């Protein structure tokens, strides 16, 4: 399980060093075989261990694709999904299209989210943290929460 956040840096070739602790967790979870894709609701990337991804991929592929909302999710999630492996120094090379989608530059934040990780541009992460509370319905499960 992944928790906690890390500052990471992307070099000029788009290589990203995975922090050693997360690297170990990934080695346990999936032998370092991961899939990175787009988040549909925010401009950030999702990092999945291979098996986690396989389950999600099936669910997404099964959505009714004449529905616009479902088609949007399919296009983005399947369309950006890229299997990646760590190089000999524990780095991954992020494809240009993923860098573009999440507006990644040098300074990034890698955020643990239990079964996956999120990868944000530091600037977008900070402005998301500063954002006002979202409007709209609050599900019962959220109202019932007690931190």
Residues making contact with its own copies (CB under 8 A): 3-7, 37, 39-41, 46, 56-57, 59-64, 66-83, 95-97, 101, 109, 111-114, 118, 128-129, 133-139, 141-142, 145, 147
Please select the residue that binds DNA; options are 41, 96, 130, 141, rule is CB under 7 A: 96
93 binds DNA (CB under 7 A): yes
CB nearer DNA, residue 7 or residue 65: 7
99 binds DNA (CB under 7 A): no
Phi, psi of 36 (to 5 degrees): -115, 135
DSSP secondary structure string for all residues of 23-81: HHHHHHHHTT-EEEEE-SSSS-EEEEEHHHHHHHHHHHHTS-TTSHHHHHHHHHHHHH-
82 binds DNA (CB under 7 A): no
CA nearest to 114, candidates 30, 34, 49, 27:
49
CB nearer DNA, residue 76 or residue 93: 93
Q: For residue 84, give the 3-state DSSP assignment.
A: strand
Q: How many CB atoms lie within 10 A of CB 8?
A: 18
Binding site for DNA (CB under 7 A): 8-9, 11-12, 17-20, 23, 87-91, 93, 96
């Amino acid at each position: 399980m992944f928790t906690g956040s890390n500052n990471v840096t992307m070099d000029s070739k788009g290589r990203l060093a995975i922090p050693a602790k997360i690297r170990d967790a990934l080695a346990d979870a999936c032998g370092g075989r991961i899939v990175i894709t787009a988040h549909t609701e925010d401009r950030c990337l999702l990092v999945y261990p291979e098996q986690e991804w396989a389950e999600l991929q099936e669910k997404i592929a099964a959505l009714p694709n004449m529905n616009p909302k479902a088609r949007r999710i399919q296009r983005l999630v399947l369309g950006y999904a890229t299997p990646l492996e760590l190089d000999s120094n524990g780095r991954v090379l992020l494809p240009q299209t993923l860098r573009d989608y999440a507006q990644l530059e040098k300074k990034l934040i890698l955020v643990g989210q239990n079964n996956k990780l999120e990868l944000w541009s530091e600037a977008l992460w900070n402005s998301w943290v500063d954002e006002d509370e979202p409007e709209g319905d609050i599900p019962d499960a959220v109202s019932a929460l007690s931190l």
